[in-house]
Amino acid sequence: MLTGYRKWSIIFLLPSGLFLIFAYVYPMVYSFIMSFFSYSMLIPGAKPVFTGISNYLSIFNNLAFLNSLRITFIFSIVAIFFQFIIGLFLALVMSANLRITGVFRVFMFIPLMIAPVVVGILWRNLYHASYGVINFFISFLGIPPQIWLGSATKALPAVIVVEIWQQLPVFAFILAAGIASIPTELNKAALVDGCGRMRIFWHITLPLLKPAIIVAFLLRIIDTLRMFDIVYTMTQGGPGTATKFLSLHIYEKGLRFFDIGTAAAQSWFFLIIVLLIEIYFIRLILRRGTAR
Amino acid sequence: MKRIISCILAVIFVVSMVFLGIGCKEEAAPAEEAVEEEAAPAEEEAEEPVVEEKKYEGVELKIMVHAGSSGERPIYEFAEEFYDKTGAKISIETVAWENIMPKLMASIEAGEGGYDISYTNPEFTYTLWPNLLPLNPYIEKYNYDTSDWFEAAVKYGEGIGDDPDIRYTIPASMVVAPVFYNTEKIPEYPTTWEGYEEVLAENTNPPEEYGLAVAGVPVQTVRQFYARFWSLGDPLLTPDWKPLINNENGVKALEMLKKTIDNFTPPGVLGWDNPDAGAAFASGLCATYEGWTGNVLTFLENPAENKIGDNWAVAMYPEGGTGNMTDNSFAIFKTTKNPDAAFEFVAEFTNKENSKRWAVEYALETPISSIYDDPEVQAAQPWFKGYKEALDVAKPAFWRVPQWIELFIPTGEMVSKYLSGEITDPQVALDQLAATWEEAIEKAIPDFEYME
């Protein structure tokens, strides 16, 4: 028999539990099952046909998928690298207790508050080859007008810049919070011992900041790998397939071509890759926790 | 302390009751007035005419409308008129093209709670036809006139699905992308590709002016490529569904398009979408525009954006070329509880009188051929003359093929790959495209011959 406390716990948890089952668990299980079927919903009267793991095996021969996977990883790695470097610098500035820190923090938040679709449209215009502001500014440096989004080589870097601009505050604020949590006694003791600022940074701040860095990486990896809205509004994956991220590829397979089995298998394959990366980072966090 | 709190609560309670009472009284007042109002006509009942109940009083029709289509505004206007006339309430949901198929599929799953009518491209019906109402019985019942339709509107609207005689859609507008040109810069529109390139070259003086404005994002490049390919005389596929796109004419068409884009368009057009191209033409930056009409008319009709005044006209592509034709059609779902009301809405919206009205007021490109020759329509929309010529040669891509989108979108992607230099050999690009097409067709080889 359930005790009163346990019984009421279950009753109160039931609505949210049921919601989770219907909204998350059921679709995930269904998509996993569908990944073993061949099913094109575009064909009238078509029924799912069990094909085993062939949808998964076909991924390795699918050049379009592999190309999208490559583009997605390039985007994620480059964007996160620059977000980390610049974010760390900004976090140090914010932690310096300068007079402008408060105003600086507010301005830092602005990109985060803009909807991704708006960001995409905004930057599409900023990058415009004829009337874009970016070409106007680089002309002062003597650089001729560039084709940004219409160029197979510059479109991806252009999208990476937007991602860095918008999500930089996430890195900066997480790292600033991490810096704030470092006991000031350590820095003071190091100063008394005659350590310079750089030495304190390399040997005290950075090592103690590791948990915050790992958390920031974890969050940003998830976000960058599933990038969709900004790139969709900026380039629609073009020119050619220069910015066709995996999320766009899978969206096209699933919700334009309605090739449900293939799209499900590709989603699960991608999810497993992301999970492996996440598990690696979570283990890093846990290892640090145990070491303490 | 407890006593004080109790007193305060009691006061709050009393005050709230007083205000609540006032609120109730205010609300009650109209009810009394209503009774008085009802009583008044009762005395004059003998003199007042009996109000007839409207034909579809209490009926509600849900319509999904292709967002941004030229029919969107007229449908909103007509929905109110239809309500006034019949009592049928029309609720409209506009949906972006990208979301139309998922929405329609979800609606079908919803059954009776879903849409009654959809207004979008007929290509979606190649998949959805088993869920649509065959309209032939209603066309007969209501004596709906289709005799004056363009041949393409008749031909490509029938035969979707199993039965060649059944029609599932009623078109309200015929959509093809013609060429808009600046009549000041191009007094005489060329009829050959050679002449076309010559006028584009004459009008290209960077950075002040360019020959051509086009939307260059992948999906928008399809029609520019087809226009050149089709003008060379080949169909896209053989009757037994083998791709012809990678033949020598395909290569020639792709090279023609690349030459045009590289030499006569403003920098960065491969990143342009339709509004960018429309604005570039209307601003006078470009002498011609290849694309959908709505995307440029928006700018031409806006005095703040239009820098070329009335100095523009519409023509078909040189040498009989045409982009892929489609239309915006009404379809009625089998699950509708009110098929007659739904058909009457469609029939009245698309009848000759209203089609002319929409053409004059909203530039809706009607499927009724004779309207294009109507002096009043020509006065309001002088460009209809050239548009009619473009419609006369227009043809759809992948007619009746449910997996049409799997053939269409990779075309744009492959063309864009070649135009952007991602693939440098046009033959390689087209061979890859042909392989993609074969794979898509293999999924369900149609049991009828391919035709255009």
CB within 8 Å: B422 and A241: yes
Per residue in B338-369, pLDDT tens? 999 999 999 999 999 999 999 999 999 999 99
Q: Give a yes or no: residue A17 inside a domain.
A: no
Structural domain for A164, as ranges: 49-291
Query: How many whole angstroms separate alpha carbon B399 and alpha carbon B235?
Result: 12
* Assigned token pair, A176: 């600033």
CATH code of the domain containing A200: 1.10.3720.10
Query: How many whole angstroms separate alpha carbon A156 and alpha carbon A75?
Result: 7
Decide if B276 touches A, using CB distance below 8 A.
yes
CB within 8 Å: A41 and B217: no
Q: Give a yes or no: residue A15 inside a domain.
A: no
- What's the Rg (C-alpha) of chain A? 24
**Which of B101, B126, B416 is the best residue to mutate to test the A interface, defined by the most A CB atoms within 10 Å of its own CB?**
B416
In contact, B294 and B381? CB cutoff 8 Å: no
Which of B219, B406, B443 is facing A236, going by the closest CB pair? B219
Query: How many whole angstroms separate alpha carbon B68 and alpha carbon A142?
Result: 41
Q: Give a yes or no: residue A25 inside a domain.
A: no
Per CB-CB distance under 8 Å, the chain B contacts of A255 are: 101-102
CA dihedral of residues A281, A283, A284, A286 (deg, nearest 10): 130
Closest by alpha carbon to B217, among B274, B265, B160? B274
pTM: 0.85
The HSE-up count of residue A19 (CA atoms within 13 Å, CB side) is 5
Per residue in B252-270, pLDDT tens? 999 999 999 999 999 999 9
Q: What is the mean pLDDT of residues B59-81?
A: 95
Q: pLDDT tens for chain A, 292 residues: list them.
A: 567 888 888 899 999 999 999 999 999 999 999 999 999 999 998 999 999 999 999 999 999 999 999 999 999 999 999 999 999 999 998 888 787 888 888 888 899 999 999 999 999 999 998 889 999 999 999 998 899 999 999 999 999 999 999 999 999 999 999 999 999 888 889 888 888 888 998 999 999 999 899 999 999 999 999 999 999 999 999 899 999 999 999 999 999 999 999 999 999 999 999 999 999 988 888 876 655 5
Q: Give a yes or no: residue A72 inside a domain.
A: yes
Per CB-CB distance under 8 Å, the chain A contacts of B98 are: 256
* Assigned token pair, A87: 């974010």
Query: How many whole angstroms separate alpha carbon A38 and alpha carbon A34?
Result: 8
Overall number of domains in chain A:
1
Q: Give a yes or no: residue A121 inside a domain.
A: yes
Query: How many whole angstroms separate alpha carbon A223 and alpha carbon B207?
Result: 40
Decide if B283 touches A, using CB distance below 8 A.
no
Q: Give a yes or no: residue A28 inside a domain.
A: no
- Which helix (H) or strand (E) segment holds residue A290: the answer is helix A260-291
Q: Give a yes or no: residue A36 inside a domain.
A: no
Domains within chain B, CATH numbers bracketed:
60-175+326-393 (3.40.190.10), 179-324+396-442 (3.40.190.10)
Which residue(s) pair with B62 in the sheet?
A: B91
The average confidence (pLDDT) of chain B is 89
Query: How many whole angstroms separate alpha carbon A172 and alpha carbon B437?
Result: 48
Q: Give a yes or no: residue A176 inside a domain.
A: yes
Residue type present at position A44 = P
Residues in Cβ contact with B445 at an 8 Å cutoff, skipping those fewer than 6 apart: B241
SS3 at position B214: strand
